[in-house]
Amino acid sequence: MKEPLYAESFKIRGGDFEHGGEVATRIKSICKELGIRPDLIRRLSIANFEAEMNVIMYADEADLCFQVSTEDVRVVVADRGQGISDIELAMTPGWSTATAEMRARGFGAGLGLPNIRNSVDEFRVDSRPGAGTTLTYVVRIA
Amino acid sequence: MLLAEIVSLLGCTELLDLEGAGNREITGCFAADLMSEVLAFCGHGPLLVTGLTNVQSLHTAEIVDVKAILYVNGKCPDVQVLALARARELPLLSTTMTMYEACGRLHRGGLPASTKV
């Protein structure tokens, strides 16, 4: 088991557009303080921002657990909400169930999950329709 | 291109009075209203041209290290967004030009596209 250098959990509330992005920017600051390479911080931050907005748009609430070791940064975003019935379809760039309000907020382009997948080194989606979705992703830093 | 040159080129209004902002060097530009597109395709540290004035435009800018935001169509964000941008020392500009016209002039003026490599 890798020894964590840093670990913190954040609550994200569904529908909270006014604060959407604050968790991702907070984690970015922490990563800077930890001295993680800027290009790796950027990749992680893109994944975090998309994951945070996904919770705000589609779930009731979630816990985002962020853990840094000497080898990697590991994030688990476990939400309670509607879940995803067809994960493969949801991973298709451009496919979206976003409402007009979500698009007016600048999201819902159908790029959320693909952006996360393309920004990290490991990515996994587990979902139970009607229960919720858990995203797990890793950015290697060593 | 300096931010001050962009202000002059597009006849922008500077929404914040940040000291030394005009001397910031801008090396590229990315334009979009969808923030996921910014996150997916934008290069490092550009001028972000957008019509989206909510707080997500600022958080997106923070994530991809945007040097300044230019709001088009005469748009201006609300006071909360302005306050957050001031706290982050992120210059905000506004122009009455459309996104197409603003980008056209910037490109003609020598500012290249900033895209992810």
The three-state (H, E, C) secondary structure of chain B, written as one string = CEHHHHHHHHCCEECCCCCCHHHCECCCEEECCCHHHHHHHECCCCEEEECCCCHHHHHHHHHCCCCEEEECCCCCCCHHHHHHHHHHCCCEEECCCCHHHHHHHHHHCCCCECECC
ipTM: 0.87
CA A87 to chain centre: 15
Distance from CA of A96 to the nearest CA of B (A): 12
- pLDDT of the residue at A1: 56
Please state, rounded to an integer, the average pLDDT across all residues of chain A. Answer: 94
Q: Which fold has domain A4-140?
A: Heat Shock Protein 90 (3.30.565)
Q: What is the pLDDT of residues B79-88, one digit of tens each?
A: 999 999 999 9
Domains parsed from chain B with CATH numbers: 3-108 (3.40.1390.20)
Domain extents in chain A: 4-140
Size of interface A-B (CB pairs under 8 A): 73
Please state, rounded to an integer, the average pLDDT across all residues of chain B. Answer: 96
Q: What is residue A103's three-state secondary structure?
A: helix
A-facing residues of B in 18-47 (CB < 8 A) are: 33-37, 39-40, 44
Partner residue opposite A107 with nearest CB, options B35, B62, B64? B35
Q: Do residues A48 and A75 touch, judged by C-beta distance below 8 A? A: yes
Q: Quick check: B37 and A118 CB within 8 A?
A: no
- Which range among A29-33, A104-108, A113-117, B106-110 shows the weakest confidence by mean pLDDT? A104-108
Inform me whether the C-beta atom of residue A118 falls under 8 Å from chain B C-beta atoms. Answer: yes
